[in-house]
Structure 1
Amino acid sequence: MKKWIWTIVAVVIIAVVGGVAFTGHHMTQKAYSTAMMTGKEAVNKKNYSIAESSFQEALRHRTNDKQAQGYLTQTQNFVSAESAMSDHEFGTAKSDYTKVKNAKTGLSTLNKRAKTALTLLKTVQLKAEMFQDVYDQALTQNQGQSYEASNATLDRIFKDAEAKEPYYTDIYNKAVDLRSANNKAIKNGGDGTASNSTSTSPTDSSASTDSSASSSTSGPASLTDTEKQAAKNYKGSNEFTVKKSQTEINGKTITAAQIASARKTLSSVGVSAGSFSDQDIRSGLIAANKAGISFKSYAQKNYK
């Protein structure tokens, strides 16, 4: 009789323990499923902080769960990519978006958003590079004291409807500062000092005639009084208003033949060569040399 009693007691204990274990497992599974569902809904609503917390909660109920860990990592990479994009760190943004897109265990929603972001990023990078090239050209013209030409180049940035978008804030502000510097120099006589004449016509006939007549001279010391005054009144840039280094490439003076050839190159790519002074051409040749590309490639990239 006693054996039967102990047998019954043992069965009851096993049943109770088993029931508790089953109930605990069921509750854990329910908490895990709820956390995962909350995380997915948060991602759909772009509430990424809530999504991260929810996936971490799911991992607390099911440690080392590959799906929960995959969702969490993908979400964190997407948040990192968005932050890098806002900070104009395009290289980091591209890397993180790519991780999101290629996630083996991830949410299709984030995968699609990453693909869209990568497409936008490619466009933004190309536009940013274009703006930088334009700015570099304008800066070279500024350094060559071709201030009006520099402003004309900068207009390619200012007239672009996308230039004021947040992605291009840094380069846009630099362009604004350079334009201000150009305007100040123009106002002060063309070279940033108040001592020069403030002639309003960069194509003054006497200046162009006298400059042509003196093209074979080596510098200001060989000019006549009339030629010196003409050079002084000339608002643009020429060989008499720039430093020697701004008329040379690798220590060698840029020749008239090189300038003539460059003008033909401009015409061949559909750019009006007549709108550039000889010094503008020199500045372009110098910039192309520094960039390690042909003048034709430089012109196609920067003068259109």
Structure 2
Amino acid sequence: MEGIRLKKWVWTIIAVVVIAVAGGYAYANHRMTQQTYTAAMTAAKNAVQDKNYSVAEAAFQEALRHKSNDATAQRYLTQTQDFASAESAMGDSDFDSAKSDYTKVKTTADGYSILTQRATKALKQLKTIQLKEDMYQQIYDQAMTEYNGQSYTQSNATLDRIFKDSDAKQSYYTDIYNQAVDLRSANNKAIKGGGDGTPADDSSSSTSATTTSSSSDTTTSDSSTSSTVAGLTDSESAAAKNYKGSNEYTVPKSRTQLNGKTITAAQITAARKTLKAAGIQPGSFSDQDIRDGLIAAQKAGTSFKTYAEKNYK
């Protein structure tokens, strides 16, 4: 009987020791986990302070590996990822995406205060940038309308409002600035061609050099859809007659001119660049389609860009 009591006592001691050891290990493990988590969170916050968001993201993820359900680490991680995404969108001048991501950071409940403050400041800056971009776009559209009306000198004067603004060279406005540069080049080329801003008539020399021995060489194919154009060879006249689409040889003269002046190749090239900038594939349109669009835009009293966005998409 005494032996049985002794055995029970021994087993009780053993159980107490095991529990104590296990408890001590659990405590030590918990303490180590907490220390590792705290170190990771501290490293992440320091990285945010230094604006090193990729390092911050990795550190917040490390913290979550030690506390997978920690709401604070997850919230700060999401904020950091959204802020980094917004910064990247700003670099690409994708202002709509940037605004969306900055807003997510700003409106995060109980978010990391530094990120919240930076997002708030960035949204104010973004508003200013967008207002300025809209202003540059309006200036460019006005200059393009003047170009389409063959007022090349005036178009350049309008574009100067962009070029004289030092902010226009900032990376945010690269696309619209480059479009303005291209349009100025087209204006200068047209001015050089005509001297006074009127484009040179490239067809005049070929027309004057062509003999008019027989009017039958340039007979119109269909008075309702085409017109006689001097200077065509027999084969060119036949090709124009058989052509089923639209070009300058198969449409009335009125569909090849703006303000009584022939639409130039430079104008067509500039219009195609405008389509591309607006996200419209310029290769889908023939030169005559472009001419028709330029004429329609002028009649509507709007820029070619605005007309194309409304009618070509």
Counterpart pick for 1:159 among 152, 156, 164: 164
- The residue aligned with 2:20 is 15
**CA displacement 1:231-274 (0-9 Å, x = unmatched):** xxxxxx9944367xxxxxxxxxxxxxxxxxxxxxxxxxxxxxxx
- The residue aligned with 2:46 is 41
Question: C-alpha separation between the residues in 1 aligned to 2:56 and 2:183?
Answer: 45
Do 2:136 and 2:176's aligned partners in 1 also have CA atoms closer than 8 Å? Answer: yes
Do 2:152 and 2:191's aligned partners in 1 also have CA atoms closer than 8 Å? Answer: yes
Cα separation, partners in 2 of 1:158 and 1:128, compared to 1, 3 Å? same
- The residue aligned with 2:55 is 50
Counterpart pick for 2:94 among 74, 89, 98: 89
Do 1:147 and 1:186's aligned partners in 2 also have CA atoms closer than 8 Å? Answer: yes
Counterpart pick for 1:241 among 256, 261, 276: 261
Do 2:36 and 2:63's aligned partners in 1 also have CA atoms closer than 8 Å? Answer: yes
Count of matched residue positions in the alignment of Structure 1 and Structure 2: 215
Correspondence list, 1:171-190, <5 A? 171-189=176-194, 190=197
- For the aligned residue pairs, the C-alpha RMSD in angstroms reads 2.6
- The residue aligned with 1:117 is 122
**CA displacement 1:189-228 (0-9 Å, x = unmatched):** 034436699xxxxxxxxxxxxxxxxxxxxxxxxxxxxxxx
Do 1:52 and 1:75's aligned partners in 2 also have CA atoms closer than 8 Å? Answer: yes
Query: Counterpart of 1:241 in structure 2: which amino acid?
Result: K
Do 1:141 and 1:283's aligned partners in 2 also have CA atoms closer than 8 Å? Answer: no
Question: C-alpha separation between the residues in 1 aligned to 2:56 and 2:95?
Answer: 25
- The residue aligned with 1:222 is none
Q: Is 1:287 aligned to 2:292, yes or no?
A: no
Cα separation, partners in 2 of 1:291 and 1:175, compared to 1, 3 Å? closer
Correspondence list, 1:46-85, <5 A? 46-85=51-90
Structure 1 residue ranges without an equivalent (≥5): 198-236, 244-281, 293-304
Counterpart pick for 1:25 among 19, 22, 30: 30
**CA displacement 1:106-137 (0-9 Å, x = unmatched):** 11101111011000100000100110111111
Cα separation, partners in 2 of 1:20 and 1:238, compared to 1, 3 Å? closer
Query: Counterpart of 1:61 in structure 2: which amino acid?
Result: H
For the residue of structure 1 that corresponds to 2:261, the secondary structure is coil
- The residue aligned with 2:228 is none
For the residue of structure 2 that corresponds to 1:154, the secondary structure is helix
1:13 CA displacement: 0.8
Cα separation, partners in 2 of 1:83 and 1:170, compared to 1, 3 Å? same
- The residue aligned with 2:200 is 193
1:4 CA displacement: 1.6
Cα separation, partners in 2 of 1:179 and 1:284, compared to 1, 3 Å? farther
1:140 CA displacement: 1.1
* Consecutive aligned runs of 4 or more in structure 1 exceeding 4 Å deviation: 194-197, 282-285, 288-292
Question: C-alpha separation between the residues in 1 aligned to 2:64 and 2:305?
Answer: 55
Question: C-alpha separation between the residues in 2 aligned to 1:137 and 1:62?
Answer: 59
Do 2:144 and 2:303's aligned partners in 1 also have CA atoms closer than 8 Å? Answer: no
For the residue of structure 2 that corresponds to 1:105, the secondary structure is coil
Cα separation, partners in 2 of 1:188 and 1:14, compared to 1, 3 Å? same
Question: C-alpha separation between the residues in 2 aligned to 1:42 and 1:69?
Answer: 16
Query: Counterpart of 2:200 in structure 1: which amino acid?
Result: T
Question: C-alpha separation between the residues in 2 aligned to 1:290 and 1:49?
Answer: 40
Question: C-alpha separation between the residues in 2 aligned to 1:80 and 1:17?
Answer: 46
Question: C-alpha separation between the residues in 1 aligned to 2:115 and 2:87?
Answer: 12
Q: Is 1:150 aligned to 2:170, yes or no?
A: no
Question: C-alpha separation between the residues in 2 aligned to 1:12 and 1:78?
Answer: 52
Structure 2 residue ranges without an equivalent (≥5): 1-5, 205-256, 264-296, 308-313
**CA displacement 1:13-67 (0-9 Å, x = unmatched):** 1100111111111111111111111101110011111100010001100012110
